[in-house]
Amino acid sequence: MFDYNKALSEKIVDIKPSGIRKFFDILDEMKDVVSLTVGQPDFITPWHIRQAGIKSLEEA
């Protein structure tokens, strides 16, 4: 496995994670949590919702 700490500057290695990074790490460990923070869900949109979106675009 490649050791990135050896390839990166000491200044970069010493940067502390941001608060939002810690928040995302906590969310990743929780079961049955749907993250809506960034707008990139980790599930496929159900077909009936996609059909409704297509229909509304066609009727506009």
pLDDT at 48: 97
Instruction: Give the residue among 60, 24, 53, 52 at the shortest CA–CA distance from 40.
Output: 24
Instruction: Give the residue among 16, 51, 43 at the shortest CA–CA distance from 25.
Output: 16
pLDDT at 58: 97
What are 11-59's pLDDT values in tens digits?
Answer: 888 888 899 889 889 988 998 887 777 777 778 999 999 999 999 999 9
Are 44 and 38 in contact by the 8 Å Cβ rule? The answer is no
23: helix, coil or strand? Answer: helix
Instruction: Give the residue among 51, 29, 50, 27 at the shortest CA–CA distance from 38.
Output: 27
Two tokens at 52?
């409704």
Task: Report the C-alpha gap between 26 and 29 in whole angstroms.
Answer: 5
What's the pTM value of the predicted model, to 2 decimals?
Answer: 0.40
